Amino acid sequence: MVSRLTYRHLPKLVAMLLIASVTTEPTVCANELFATERELLADAADGSLDEFSLLEGSLIASGVTDRDQLEQFTSAFATRIAAKRPACSGGVSATASPEQIYNLLHEEFLTGQYYSTCTEVNRALDDGDYNCVTATVLFHCVGESFGLTPVAVATSTHVRSRLVADKPFDVETTCRDWFQVVRRDPNTQIFRSEQQVTRQLTNVELLAKIYYNRGVSLLENKAFADAIALLKTSQLLDPVDAPTRENIAAGMNNWALAECDANNFAHAVELVQEGLSKYPEFAPLLANDVHIHQRWAVALCEEHRYSEAMQALHAAHLRRADVALFDRGRTAVLAQWATALFEKGELETASKLFTAANGWFDELSEISRCRSIAVQEAAASLARRGRTDEANRLVRWGGELDSATTQF
């Protein structure tokens, strides 16, 4: 049974399942990190940002890794804030209200459209388009410029801001007239801050959402290696995030299936084994482990590469002795392998094969049964092709080895 999953969205949060194929490349080719990313991850290792601002960190997480570009974005941001400060607060040193800051955010920065895929902060700064992660990041960056210190909160599929006070006030950063909505119906905010299950995020965990969403977008485009590399970075920044874990497992599963469909079976098996070593609870990986091995063994037997088919199934059997297909599959391969040898009259080679089979099977009766089946199948094939004398000789030979063999 093939088990594929689709992704589910956060501001683009998702979960997915697939399976892959054979390659000489490493299982998950994580892109080499740029120097700025390495520095960001080192700074974030203790769970907080000290060397980088939230804006700088979010730009790097968005893929802006060139230092000159970073400087251009941060300088332009500061210039835009400075230009709006007097109108917003009435003075450079004064603190603006949350609603004023929110209005400034939408009037100056979030001037485009909401797109669930707009997860890069640089895109939001350039074009004004946004999703809930980029909108929340920029609300915090603008707020920090005016002394406001909101925190990010996440549901299973969404991110927004929270103003922490005597009574927490949640801000839907993607809603242009949020403060007006709340004034008209206070219950819309009460539900979010008091009744909906949320998890508070640090700035580092907020950055993880950017990596997460970028990874999910690539998973949807089947760019598995790059996607999983981004998701693993997200997991590094936020190790306890369940959707990230689910999407890495799903991505490895779907990558393995894709590789299987491309007949890259060895790599598909590597991906499944790596996935199972880290996510043993992920049922689709278990199911597709069987599916891939079955297809691989059939493909190898069709090319008369019986030894490789036996090796693949035997290795799988040693890992998962409880899986019937791995056990019965070895029996089928042995019988087919021996049948091919018998049809070519290579009785001595076949005898050596059954001797070697003692290393694969615990029960000698299973080997004897395979030999009997192979003798009968080969004899019948020879007879159908008019080679009756060879068929009879084979049956007599088999009968000498196994008295239970049915005479042709």
pLDDT tens digits for range 19-44: 333 233 333 334 467 899 999 999 99
Of 173, 201, 229, the one marking the end of a domain is 201
Instruction: Tell me the pLDDT tens digit for each residue of 108-117.
Output: 999 999 999 9
Looking at residue 270, its amino acid is: E
Of residues 22 and 384, more confidence is placed in 384
Same domain, 222 and 105: no
Q: Kindly tell me if the per-residue pLDDT of 12 is higher than 70.
A: no
Dig out the tokens for 165 from the structure: 């006070």
CB 42 within 8 A of CB 327: no
CB 227 within 8 A of CB 18: no
Instruction: From residue 7, give the alpha-carbon distance in Å to each of 84, 156, 226.
Output: 40, 13, 16
Is 292 among the domain residues?
no
Of residues 93 and 179, more confidence is placed in 179
Could you tell me the residue range of the domain that residue 335 belongs to?
304-408
Is 14 among the domain residues?
yes
Is 294 among the domain residues?
no
Is 291 among the domain residues?
no
Same domain, 89 and 195: yes
Same domain, 197 and 217: no
Of 243, 245, 269, nearest to 257 by C-alpha is: 269
Same domain, 167 and 114: yes
Answer whether 0.75 is exceeded by the pTM. Answer: yes
Same domain, 144 and 172: yes
- pLDDT band, residue 402 (cuts 50/70/90): low
- Counting Cα atoms < 13 Å in the Cβ hemisphere of 337 gives 26
Give the pLDDT mean for 226-251: 96
Residues recorded for the chain: 408
Same domain, 193 and 241: no
Is 53 among the domain residues?
no
Is 207 among the domain residues?
no
Same domain, 330 and 384: yes
Q: Kindly tell me if the per-residue pLDDT of 64 is higher than 90.
A: yes
- pLDDT band, residue 13 (cuts 50/70/90): very low
| CA 372 from centroid of its chain's CA atoms | 46
Same domain, 77 and 185: yes
Mean residue pLDDT of the chain comes to 86
| CA distance linking residue 42 with residue 93, whole number of Å | 34
Predicted pLDDT of residue 301: 95
Instruction: Tell me the pLDDT tens digit for each residue of 97-110.
Output: 999 999 999 999 99
Is 108 among the domain residues?
yes
Instruction: Tell me the pLDDT tens digit for each residue of 329-371.
Output: 999 999 999 899 988 888 889 889 988 888 888 777 778 888 8
Q: Kindly tell me if the per-residue pLDDT of 215 is higher than 60.
A: yes
Same domain, 264 and 340: no
**Exposed, middle or buried by CB within 10 Å (0-12, 13-18, 19+), for 170?**
buried
CB 73 within 8 A of CB 64: yes
CA torsion sign for 36, 39, 40, 41 is positive
Of 201, 235, 251, the one marking the end of a domain is 201
Predicted pLDDT of residue 84: 83
Same domain, 388 and 317: yes
Same domain, 261 and 134: no
Predicted pLDDT of residue 347: 87
Of 201, 223, 239, the one marking the end of a domain is 201
Same domain, 353 and 373: yes
Is 80 among the domain residues?
yes
Looking at residue 402, its amino acid is: D
Using alpha carbons only, give the angle 102, 103, 105 rounded to the nearest 5 degrees.
65
Domain count of the fold of the chain: 3
